[in-house]
């Protein structure tokens, strides 16, 4: 995979091959950690294995020719080592840290009694779980509406950005800034007891280290330590008996939990275009917010769906739900076309500041809801979401630094 660009690796290697394809292979051979797919027929498991393989083949073959034509991995890697932006990056990082500090202070002053992580740290796991469910179902709100989304993306961006700088720059200040950002981000990403994003951050940091330093004993020991730490946290929060059960829980959620929706859709959902516009712009006002397939199938997966919003599914599940066999055959071509446009967009941005926008590209392709919502990709809702809450705010942070720089000249 030497020709694979840096920003695509989390999507192409981790999200698609590891969490989607590996899950369908293991399910196809009837090797499952949990019982979540027990009622799915063998025929459905086989169909999904073949159609997922087909969709990934289309995606990889198209990207192979685009990447081969447009990019050279050696030139890309070398461009990280330009140090002419170091001072600008230091100022930007400090500005974002100050911003996160103010937001954390706000949370402690106004929302202290609504933060699940505080109760979990104090040993009150029952209350912490209750608050987590209320946050998930939007019964209660923590933080500042819309601004909290900016905070979320900055909490992912800053440690990733600074870790790249730490590995590629000779300035020691990046070590100090990185560890501050990691502490802040760790708190902000787990304050509502959601585990997936802190795990994602750790995976991205591990990938970045592997990309720049290669496989070595230090990476191996760090990975084992992180795995034990995460398993321990999961065991504590989810009340598991031991770290092994915590590890199995993580693998089950990552490998099978991200796929489960499409199995139930193909088995229990009758294809209909009725809900195809349920996530369209202003769908509620237009009377288009019908029950979506990932909501409909919840009753087949869980005994109690009171506190559940949806079931994760690779986009193939929704393709079937809306368009039947035609969706399975033709949607992969639409998706690959959209992904190529995203890729070219970030490559274009990277010409202005490679480290900065490559970090954003990593986050975008890592959080792209290809295993959560087909509509958010087709209607460009996630791209606009990322544009308004990640790219534009970062642009303003940069502008603030430019103003400050001119003022003190």
What are the tens digits of pLDDT across the range 43-74?
A: 999 999 999 999 999 999 998 888 766 544 44
Please write the tens of the pLDDT for every residue from 139-189: 888 989 899 999 999 999 999 999 999 998 888 999 999 999 999 999 999
pLDDT > 70 fraction of the chain, expressed in percent and rounded = 83
Give the pLDDT band of residue 195 (cuts 50, 70, 90). confident
Domain boundaries, the chain: 6-407
pLDDT band at 327 (very low <50, low <70, confident <90, very high): very high
Using pLDDT thresholds of 50, 70 and 90, give the confidence band for residue 245: low
Residue 327 to residues 2, 23, 63, 315, 323: CA-CA distances in angstroms?
A: 32, 21, 21, 10, 5
Contact between 377 and 370 under an 8 Å Cβ cutoff? The reply is: yes
Q: What is the pLDDT of residue 164?
A: 92
Per-residue pLDDT band at 313 (split at 50, 70, 90)? confident
Would the pLDDT of 255 be above 90?
Answer: no
Return the HEC string of the chain: CCCCCHHHHHHHHHHHHHHHHHHHHHHHCCCCCCCCCCCCCHHHHHHHHHHHHHHHHHHHHHHHHHHHHHCCHHHHHHHHHCCCCHHHHHHHHHHHHHHHHHHHHHHHHHCHHHCHHHHHHCCCHHHHHHHHHHHHCCCCCCCCCCHHHHHHHHHHHHHHHHHHHHHHCCCCHHHHHHHHHHHHHHHHHHCCCCCHHHHHHHHHHHHHHHHHHCCCHHHHHHHHHHHHHHHHHHHHHCCCCCHHHHHHHHHHHHHHHCCHHHHHHHHHCCCCHHHCCCCCCCCCCCCCCCCCHHHHCHHHHCCCCCCCCCCCCCHHHHHHHHHHHHHHHHHHHHHHHHHHHHHHHHHHHHCCCHHHHHHHHHHHHHHCCCCCCHHHHHCCHHHHHHHHHHHHHHHHHHHHHHHHHHHCC
Model confidence at 75, in pLDDT bands (50, 70, 90)?
very low
Q: Mean per-residue pLDDT for 195-223?
A: 79
In this predicted model, which residue has the larger pLDDT, 285 or 61? Answer: 61
The residue ranking higher by pLDDT, 304 or 238, is 304
Q: What percent of the chain has pLDDT over 90?
A: 43
Mean pLDDT of 363-371: 93
Question: Per-residue pLDDT for 409 more than 70?
Answer: no
Q: Which position has the token pair 């989607």?
A: 20
pLDDT at residue number 4: 52
Ramachandran angles phi, psi of 172, nearest 5°: -70, -20
Q: Specify the pLDDT at position 123.
A: 75
pLDDT in tens, 11-40: 888 889 888 898 899 889 888 777 778 899
User: Which of 25-34, 211-220, 364-373: highest mean pLDDT?
Assistant: 364-373
């Amino acid at each position: 995979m030497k020709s694979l660009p840096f920003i695509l690796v989390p999507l192409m290697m981790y999200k698609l091959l590891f969490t989607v394809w590996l899950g369908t292979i293991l399910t196809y051979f009837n090797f499952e950690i949990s019982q979540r797919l027990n009622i799915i027929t063998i025929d459905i498991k086989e169909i999904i294995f073949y159609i997922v393989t087909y969709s990934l083949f289309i995606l990889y073959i198209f990207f192979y020719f685009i990447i081969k034509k447009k990019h050279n991995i050696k030139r890309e890697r070398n461009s990280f080592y330009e140090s002419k932006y170091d001072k600008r990056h230091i100022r930007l990082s400090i500005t974002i840290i100050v911003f996160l500090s103010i937001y954390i202070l706000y949370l402690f002053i106004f929302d202290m009694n609504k933060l699940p992580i505080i109760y979990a740290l104090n040993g009150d796991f029952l209350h912490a779980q209750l608050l987590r469910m209320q946050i998930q179902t939007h019964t209660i709100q923590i933080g500042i509406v819309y601004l909290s989304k900016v905070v979320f993306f900055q909490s992912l961006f800053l440690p990733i950005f600074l870790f790249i700088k730490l590995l590629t720059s000779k300035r020691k200040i990046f070590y100090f800034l990185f560890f501050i950002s990691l502490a802040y981000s760790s708190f902000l990403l787990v304050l509502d007891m959601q585990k997936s994003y802190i795990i994602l951050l750790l995976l991205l940091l591990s990938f970045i280290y592997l990309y720049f330093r290669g496989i070595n004993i230090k990476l191996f020991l760090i990975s084992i330590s992180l795995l034990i730490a995460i398993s321990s946290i999961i065991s504590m929060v989810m009340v598991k008996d031991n770290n092994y059960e915590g590890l199995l829980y993580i693998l089950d959620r990552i490998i099978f939990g991200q796929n489960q929706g499409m199995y139930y859709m193909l088995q229990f959902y009758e294809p209909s275009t009725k809900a195809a516009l349920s996530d369209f712009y202003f769908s509620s006002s237009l009377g288009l917010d019908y029950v979506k397939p990932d909501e409909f199938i919840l009753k087949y997966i869980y005994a109690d769906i009171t506190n559940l919003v949806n079931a994760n599914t690779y986009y193939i599940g929704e393709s079937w739900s809306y368009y039947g066999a035609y969706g399975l055959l033709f949607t992969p071509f639409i998706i690959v076309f959209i992904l190529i446009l995203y890729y070219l967009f970030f490559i274009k941005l990277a010409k202005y500041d490679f480290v900065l926008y490559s970090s954003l590209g990593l986050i975008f392709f890592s959080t792209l809801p290809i295993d959560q919502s087909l509509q958010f990709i087709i209607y460009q809702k996630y791209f606009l979401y990322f544009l308004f809450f990640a790219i534009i705010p970062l642009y303003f942070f940069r502008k603030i630094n430019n103003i400050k720089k001119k003022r003190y000249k």
